[in-house]
Amino acid sequence: MEVFLGAGVFASLVSFLYPVLRYLIPPPTAELESDLALAGKVGDLKPGTGKIFRFGSRPALLVLSPDGQYHALSAVCTHLGCTVQYRNDLHDVWCACHNGLYDLNGRNISGPPPRPLETYEVIVKGDEIYARRAHNG
């Protein structure tokens, strides 16, 4: 009798709590993840500067290095998710939150970041600059 009563109470608790727990987690959003994003226009950047652009729902960074090369990388720091920036005095990509440093190829070179930044292929079409996600394999 006690077992039935206990199981009944337990089952009703689960039936109350389960919908609440499920309610707390939002439904997955259909991410319109594209492999290609418009990063800017030729002439937007002077050599030795960078700008943030949208890559899908996340920020990305376009850099025109002092030697005239374009670099496109994810701007989400791999440490705790802050948005990074290009620093011409260091010639590197820097995260202001915890002093993480990456080179222009996205490699984490100092500070707490545990992984490199994702890098994108840069395509210049006319006066528009695009960043494309590289597919491995």
Partner 1 sequence: MSAIANTRAWLDEHFRLNEVIAFLRHKTVPQHRYTPFYFLGGMTLFLFGIQVLTGILLLLYYRPTPNDAFESVQYIMTRVRFGWLVRSIHSWSANLMILTAFAHMFSVFFMRAYRKPRELTWLSGMGLLVIVLCFGFSGYLLPWNTLSFFATKVGTDLPAQVPVVGKWILVFLRGGEDVTGATLTRFFGFHVALLPGLATLLIGLHLLLIQRFGMSVPPGVDAEWRANPAKVREMPFFPNFLLRELMAWYIALGILGALAALKPWELGTKADPFASAPAGIRPEWYFMFMFQTLKMIPAKVGIVNGELLGAVGIGVAALVWTLLPFFDHSERGRGQRLIAGVGVFALAYIISMTVYGYLAK
Beta strands in the chain (DSSP E): 36-41, 49-55, 58-64, 70-74, 85-87, 92-95, 100-102, 108-110, 119-125, 128-133
66 Cβ contact partners less than 8 Å away, ≥ 6 residues apart: 47, 48, 88, 91
Nearer to partner 1, 22 or 137 (CB): 22
Nearer to partner 1, 2 or 31 (CB): 31
Segment interacting with partner 1, rule: CB under 8 A, options 8-16, 66-74, 90-98, 119-127? 90-98
The one-letter code for the residue type at 50 is G
Nearer to partner 1, 59 or 123 (CB): 59
- CA triplet 58, 61, 64: central angle to 5 degrees? 160
Segment interacting with partner 1, rule: CB under 8 A, options 6-14, 39-47, 95-103, 118-126? 95-103
Q: Is 129 in the site for partner 1 (CB under 8 A)?
A: no
Residues that bind partner 1 (CB under 8 A): 24-26, 29, 52-54, 57-59, 61, 75, 79-85, 95-99, 108, 111-114
